[in-house]
Structure formats: C-alpha cells, structure tokens
Amino acid sequence: MRILLAALACTAAFVFAFPARAQQSSDRTIRIIAPFTPGSPNDVVARLIAPPLGQRLSQPVVVDNRPGGGTTIGVKAAMTAEPDGTTLLISNSPTHFISPLVNKTFTYDPLKDFVPVATVASGGLMLVIAPEVPAKTLAEFVAYAKANPGKLNFGYGQGTLPQLVGEMFKRATGAEIANIPYKGGVNAVTDMLGGRVQMNIGTISTLAPLVREGKLRALAVTSGVRNPELPDVPTMAEGGLPEVASVTYYGFFAPAGTPADAVRRINAAVNDSLKAPDIAAAIRRIGFEPHAGTPEDFAKLLASEMKVWVPIVQTTGFQMN
C-alpha cells in the first residue's frame, strides 16, 4: 500500500501540472471495475492510469473494486453494464480467459463478451518465502519442501495467475505444498507475515518492500530477465526451473457492443498517458513496464496467450473453488 500511495501521489502531481485537453468533454463518469482487492496489481495499475486518463478524456474516471468469486463478481458487473463507453474492466491476460474455463458458477466468452480496449503495463511475478524457512536459494527451498511434504502452505488470491504459477511450480518440482486460497493476494501476504503461510507468489510492487525490510525472502522472478528493483534475485530459469515462467499483461476491456469510436478514443487516451515520462516512471517504480498498443494488438496478444495458458490449465488441473 505504501508503494501504491507514493505512486498515486506522483501521478496526482503530474496530472495537475497538465493543462486541460480539448478532447470530447463529458461529465459522465467512466467506471473502471477491478475484480480484485484494493492494493492488488490490477488495482494499482488502474489507479495509476485513471487520473491521466480522466485528464485526457475530460471525464471523471473512478476505480470500482468488486473482488470475490475468483474475479467473477467484478467480471459479471462489467459484462452486464451498458456498452456505452463508460464502463471498463481492468484485468490481465491469463486471468481474463482462464476464469471462464474453470469457474463452475459463471462462464463467459473472453473474446466475444468483451472488447479489448488497451494494454497498460506488463510485468513478471516473484516467488517469496517466510524468513523462518531454512532455505536461501530456490534449489534449497525445493529440497526442503520435498523433504517435508505437506508441512508448507502456499497462500494466493483465488483464481489468479499466482495460483496457476504456483501449481506450475509444484508440478515442475514435485513438491507437496498445501494450497491456502484467499479473496485476494494481499490477504495471503498478511497471513504470511503472521506465520500462517510460508510461500507466496506475487508482483514485485507488492513484495519488494517487504523483501527489503527482511520480512520476506525472495527466491526467483518469473520473467526472462532480472528485475532492476531487485537485481540480486535470479530468474526461475537461472534457478533451474525454466518452465516456470510468465509475463503478465494488464489492460482494459469493455462490454461487447461498446461503440468502436469510444474504444478508439479511450485507447488513444491510454497510449498518450503512457508516453508521459512521469506516468511511465511511476509504472516502473511498481515493478512493471508501460505497454501501449492498439485494440487489435491487445486482441492478438490475448489469442497468443490463450494458446500458451489454456493447455497449462488443463494439464495442471487448475480450479477455482
């Protein structure tokens, strides 16, 4: 939350320094529905981009958190909203199309029920353990987990990418680690600090401050290269697990039927926001990279990601309880 507040303060200062833009003005509020808990990666990305987005659109932009149900509560609220360009969904590339595959109570077509609007950021994840676990490296942790089957707990936000990456990790290593699902990843970290969870996977923006304070121990990042925020933390590939790799793409979706001109207008405002040095720097400070593009780029990215993640979901038995 400290990282979030600092980033928001920077963004607010940047927005007020900008003159008003003479774009299509409207007093209708744009609502960004975040099907995740406050402080989670998707929520942080949405709150960083909302002020400059509102400035460029000359419209109020607010973030509406709707966590729960493995993201389905927020997704349903966005999908059933009036497709008039005033409702957006913030989600990430794997979660958006994995959820309907495994949720037994609510399904949707990720490509037909929503319109890709704009990518905002991308970034990898980081595996951390509690300091009391007697392991300093990824190899040592795997050895300890395998020598103590069922004694370690893996905490994660239910129905999220960290849960899936955790399943990949356990499958790749053969370690028997108990799953502890939470409403959101932030709740899992809280219990980790309280000694009830020994392993967590999350974004660097959430976990890096705790690693620096010695409250958590970082073992590896899932991206292809080390993160400059924690350059001493190796990649999964460097730790001997190249198959446990992922880069998450965060972006906006709109309900199917949203007019193309509204999609283009929002996309242009997002891309323009990402060009601003202050906004790009704020995104990098939370461990992500700005990632601009057209709606068509986002659609192609989603189709490509589906080919990678859907088979993994099917082979790991990933489920949302």
Which CATH number goes with the domain that contains 299? 3.40.190.150
The pair of structure tokens assigned to 153 is 């707990």
Indicate if 118 and 256 belong to the same structural domain: yes
Task: Determine, yes or no, domain membership for 190.
Answer: yes
Task: Determine, yes or no, domain membership for 23.
Answer: yes
Q: Which residue range is the domain that position 104 belongs to?
A: 2-123+247-316
The pair of structure tokens assigned to 119 is 């990518």
Q: Where residue 162 sits, what CATH number does that domain have?
A: 3.40.190.10
Residue-wise pLDDT tens digits, 267-276: 999 999 999 9
Q: What is the pLDDT of residue 25?
A: 44
Instruction: Decide which of 100 and 194 is more confident.
Output: 194
Residue 197 near residue 180 (C-beta atoms within 8 A): yes
Residue 204 pLDDT greater than 90, yes or no:
no
Instruction: Decide which of 131 and 310 is more confident.
Output: 131
The pair of structure tokens assigned to 50 is 């909302």
Residue-wise pLDDT tens digits, 145-156: 999 999 999 999
Global confidence as pTM: 0.74
Task: Determine, yes or no, domain membership for 236.
Answer: no
Mean pLDDT, residues 224-232: 87
The pair of structure tokens assigned to 83 is 């497709």
In sign, the C-alpha dihedral spanning 113, 261, 263, 82 is negative
Task: Determine, yes or no, domain membership for 282.
Answer: yes
Q: What is the pLDDT of residue 319?
A: 66
Strands 30-34, 87-92: parallel, antiparallel or unpaired by DSSP?
parallel
Question: In whole angstroms, what is the distance from residue 185 CA to residue 288 CA?
Answer: 17
**H or E element, residue 253:** strand 248-255
Indicate if 209 and 129 belong to the same structural domain: yes
Indicate if 114 and 136 belong to the same structural domain: no
Mean pLDDT of the chain: 87
Residue 5 pLDDT greater than 70, yes or no:
no
Tell me how many degrees the CA angle 287-290-295 measures, rounded to the nearest 5.
Answer: 135
Residue 67 near residue 184 (C-beta atoms within 8 A): yes
In the chain, the number of structural domains is 2
The pair of structure tokens assigned to 8 is 């928001």
Indicate if 114 and 146 belong to the same structural domain: no
